[in-house]
A and B are shown apart, each in its own frame.
Chain A
């Protein structure tokens, strides 16, 4: 009997969480390291899952586990991974590990609850990426809301409660709408299995219902991405969350939204998606607004973490743009160049989530390190830090270049792929999206490099700031190394995504 590796990985963090609960509260040191050890173990398993999936051919579901859950309600415990989810699982594991490791040195109060919540959050994230049953998917989705709500509300900054509630209202509203959509899909297709439902094409007979359910599901996931105008919860949540919380929230949790659209909305309703991306281009306009508006707000924003949050919004706009471009291939069935462009758009969207996860997490870590030392997030107070924090400067410079999509670093590939899809399928949107690139370069270098590190140093205030400590370096370096390695040789990542994406494109275009 084979080891059910998915289940083991999925419940590894939960097991850690339970063990953490059993440890005495006063032994915070032990609690911390239990958390890190379980996160590392999960990460190792996630790496094995990725390797196994890639080796077996990532084009279809691998390592599938299928068991009855609540048979009376036709609910099944179905897990599986393909090329789309395997890297996302790895990313979630990696960011949780980094966050727990970093927190082990920074979080001083309520360590037990903190570690417990983080491990619970990891199980929830992994569950969403592994679940093939819609209700199972939904359960993990909602379970994930609680830990991040508490992480913001308890360990956050000054205005944490407001931010936490705002986060919860938004995402819960999205979840409710999404649940209604999923139930409606079940009504139409008679199955909760994601793949079977996609094959059965829900609501192919009634366009009105298809439109309603499509929008319900789209909004549910769009809030999480987040797409303009559903983005306003993100700046508050990211600004108020503790540094490690921002890392996981920005880096891993946002990916659930894009993943949901790629796994559920696009395969279920390709023709609706096509309608609202091309004929009535609401989705495309939302994507472009995210890109342009997000970048403009960044230009005007002087709060460091808020700036990064809006930059997140702008970057996630490219995910939506890639999805919109891919859907635009729907009418052009047999044309292989259109198919490849659609595959490129989807690859770009998936890759943009992955690279955004790596790069934005590193940026949040670095900014958190600076602002925790300086006890302010006001950009105007800084300047000339390069001479007191050279290592921070170097790492931030690399991360900033990755953020603005410099070739040779990971952020470039997703932009290229998204534009390749958009140029062929949505030319006008591609033109506007390309302009966003210039803005990105502007605010990234001006704000994150020049205002922070260059210019003259306020010696009275900042001469005492120390450079990075060893554990801070250990937290950031893995992310920076991944940026560079995957930037130069993206094949391990791109080929895995591509195998799954090719199948998806064939499925939703050629039907």
Chain B
């Protein structure tokens, strides 16, 4: 039974693609769910659930069932299973095999991804109304889901790379959702190219491993013997093959997972689909990037790149947390917090805490999905409030507000207007803040900083600081959105959403919190029971033998205390700054106490730069476009250089025309002249009768051939 289930694992990535194909080619059918009255109360209007949504939900549910079956199989038989392997092609004397790889790590990730994608599909039904848009949206979403599932089940870095790139295409296809919006498309393209830089590094790493090992299957690449050999083979100066490959894979991961999703950069939410897009982005792209590091873990541990990974992870964690702490846009806040959490995962892997990193990744996916859904619900509720205030009830002289539904400074006091959403968001926030005892995040974070504590002290402090900031940026939106008094008419009249939206969210809130507890039944620290929990040993069976550098999941008391104190401090600071009393309003704008405090401390630039007004990411973007412009300029320069060459060429052609006929000069000239100047020059040259020289040359050449052929004595 179990081997049979494992053999079926290849179906899991195939299902979303089949569903996408079905949606793409299927007839335009809508299924009648119920009828309802229009607001005016006269006509009865029909509400449809689109067939694309049903197909997508059914597909993801099927994929989830299969994933659960696979997880059950791995629980019954832990360890690595490769039930299927077929020949793909042969290169040189080697044959490339392709197959299925199932182990506890992959199984857990499969369940996580399919679950998040399923809930995203259900949740988006209430978001996306018109049929063509639903079609495009679900095709895009299923494309991404299929790609990340493919990344998870393959036994081969090459297939991983294949699906990895399809994932990029999936997010590129978002352009199709916003065909008319140039700015949106620009940002999607920009992201694709940024990712492409990472991808080219990954391809380099892949080619290097392929060349050195002669195979890209995990069992060949990551076996203890191969890894040990790679770690001692020099490649670039003092760097070994393993180190270079690890750095290249790290580049791929960062290029994939670190950039913000493209829709976050957009001004205004396009058609309200962004929370769903964020949901899918978090479950697919970010997980895929981290999964590569998890998969390549045996190689990483033996390479010299571990410290680099830990440092990069710490830097990402701190940077993301800093940026998240000051955002007033809820979606951007969540995006930066995702970046920061990915940093924690990388830091964990960098110190060898495999299980902690994986645990953090999975837990983060769950509570970030919860937060995304709650954010979507808040935005929807606010828009309902806005529609309410700008309807007939409002006198004409009252200025119509244009609202940015994601701006937290315009919210406030929503706790009693949207209670279900408030509870869900609070649960997600507490999980994010890694509150002691109340959240799963506490455990993984504790282990990560504990591991760093014993090896690299400054990063440990940086990481603890990042944890404190995370707690602050988790409390801040709770206070801003739900506490004190409403700060806009839309917030005053905001209403809780319908059950179609709140029910999946509520179920998910229970699930996310409950799952967090499942992860730590035995590691519960009452009376100092610090025994390792079942999660670590379970996922560790995914790793081969000979990995002595893995840090076991234990808690050290100093970092734990520091972490707890910083977390509590962050939470308290968030409440103290934002939740204690109503924010002061100057004119139209709400004053953010944090920015006011930074101003008072004489650091106004800090807040602004963290907010992105002088932000690093935007600077980098500007730098990128400047580089592109410079590249185009360089092209001009090359053409300019070639232009002077053309002048030389023309001079030479004159000379040669005098001496031997035009052919040599003509050749040089056309060799050198750039497209822009060529026509003019050629016309000038033609006036001087080069054409004649040319024909003379032909005759000479023909004669030459004839002579060579005739007088060739053999």
Contacts and interface: CB of A to CB of B under 8 A. Distances in A.
Contact of B89 (A74, A340, A490): A490
A498 interface: yes
Interface in A389-448: 401, 406-408, 412, 415-417, 419-424, 427, 430-431, 434-435, 437-439, 441-442, 445-446
A227 to B, nearest CB: 13
A162 B690 CA distance: 12
Q: How big is chain B's contact interface, by range?
A: 35 or more
Contacts of B636: 300
Interface string B79-94: 0000000011111111
A286 to B, nearest CB: 13
Contacts of B663: 169, 173
Interface in B173-225: 175, 179-180, 182, 185, 189, 192-193, 196-197, 199-201, 203-204, 206-208, 210-212, 214
A454 B192 CA distance: 16
A95 to B, nearest CB: 23
A288 to B, nearest CB: 14
Given A162-B682, A299-B631, A179 B204 contact: no
Contacts of B235: 427
B162 interface: yes
B701 interface: yes
B267 interface: no
A408 B165 contact: yes
B628 interface: yes
Interface string B678-714: 0100100000000000100110010011001000101
Contacts of B631: 296, 299, 439
B638 interface: yes
A169 B200 contact: no
Nearest to A180: B708
A502 interface: yes
Given A347-B91, A438-B197, A297 B203 contact: no
Nearest to A407: B162
Interface in A478-511: 489-491, 494-495, 498, 502, 505
A165 B695 CA distance: 10
Interface string A166-187: 1001101100100110010010
B396 interface: no
B667 interface: yes
Contact of B88 (A159, A297, A306, A491): A491
Nearest to A298: B635
Candidate in B88, B236, B639 with the most chain A CB atoms within 10 angstroms = B88
Output the residue of B166, B211, B634, B673 with the most chain A CB within 10 A.
Answer: B211
Contacts of A434: 200-201, 203-204
A469 to B, nearest CB: 21
Nearest to B176: A386
A442 B92 CA distance: 32
Nearest to B704: A176
A216 B91 CA distance: 32
A85 interface: no
B91 A417 contact: yes
B203 A336 contact: no
A445 B189 contact: yes
Contact of A423 (B90, B175, B196, B207): B207
A126 B347 CA distance: 59
B666 interface: yes
A450 B185 contact: yes
B91 A442 contact: no
B203 A159 contact: no
A456 interface: yes
A495 B92 CA distance: 9
Contacts of B189: 445-446, 450
Contact of B635 (A299, A415, A420): A299
Nearest to B211: A424
Interface in A133-181: 159, 162, 165-166, 169-170, 172-173, 176, 179-180
Contact of A456 (B93, B182, B197, B666): B182
Contact of A421 (B185, B211, B673): B211
A437 B212 contact: no
Given A442-B628, A490-B89, A337 B203 contact: no
Contacts of A169: 663, 666-667, 694, 697
A263 to B, nearest CB: 19
B677 to A, nearest CB: 12
Contacts of A455: 180, 182, 185
Given A235-B675, A408-B165, A450-B185, A494 B90 contact: yes
A494 B89 contact: yes
Given A300-B636, A337-B211, A441 B196 contact: yes
B707 to A, nearest CB: 11
A341 interface: yes
Contacts of A406: 165-166, 169
A494 B158 CA distance: 16
B484 interface: no
Contacts of A176: 701, 704-705
Nearest to A383: B182
B211 A306 contact: no
Nearest to B248: A434
Contact of A415 (B92, B182, B203): B203
Contact of A498 (B91, B172, B211, B634): B91
Contact of A73 (B180, B666, B712): B712
Contacts of B701: 172-173, 176
A354 interface: no
A371 interface: no
Contacts of B635: 296-297, 299-300
B638 A293 contact: yes
B92 A502 contact: yes
Contact of B161 (A180, A407, A456, A494): A407
B211 A420 contact: yes
Interface string A308-340: 000000000000000000000000000011011
A259 interface: no
A73 B711 CA distance: 11
Interface string A450-465: 1000111000000000
A343 B207 contact: no
Contacts of B158: 407, 416
Nearest to A406: B165
Given A434-B201, A454-B175, A337 B89 contact: no
A391 to B, nearest CB: 13
B671 interface: yes
Nearest to A166: B670
Contact of B193 (A162, A423, A438): A438
Contacts of A28: none
Interface string B83-117: 00001111111100000000000000000000000
A233 B628 CA distance: 27
Contact of A340 (B214, B639, B705): B214
Contacts of A230: 671
B203 A339 contact: no
A339 B211 contact: no
Contact of A495 (B90, B201, B679, B704): B90
Q: In the complex, which of the residues A180, A387, A455, A505 has the most CB atoms of chain B within 10 Å of its own CB atom?
A: A455
A489 B90 CA distance: 11
B211 A423 contact: yes
A129 B74 CA distance: 54
Contact of A442 (B193, B675, B698, B705): B193
A229 interface: yes
Contacts of A235: 675
Contacts of A73: 712, 714
Which 4 interchain pairs have the tightest Cβ spacing? A340-B92, A407-B162, A343-B92, A424-B211
20 contacts: A159-B679, A169-B694, A170-B667, A173-B663, A180-B708, A183-B712, A229-B671, A232-B670, A296-B638, A299-B635, A407-B164, A415-B203, A424-B208, A431-B204, A434-B203, A437-B203, A438-B196, A456-B180, A494-B91, A495-B89
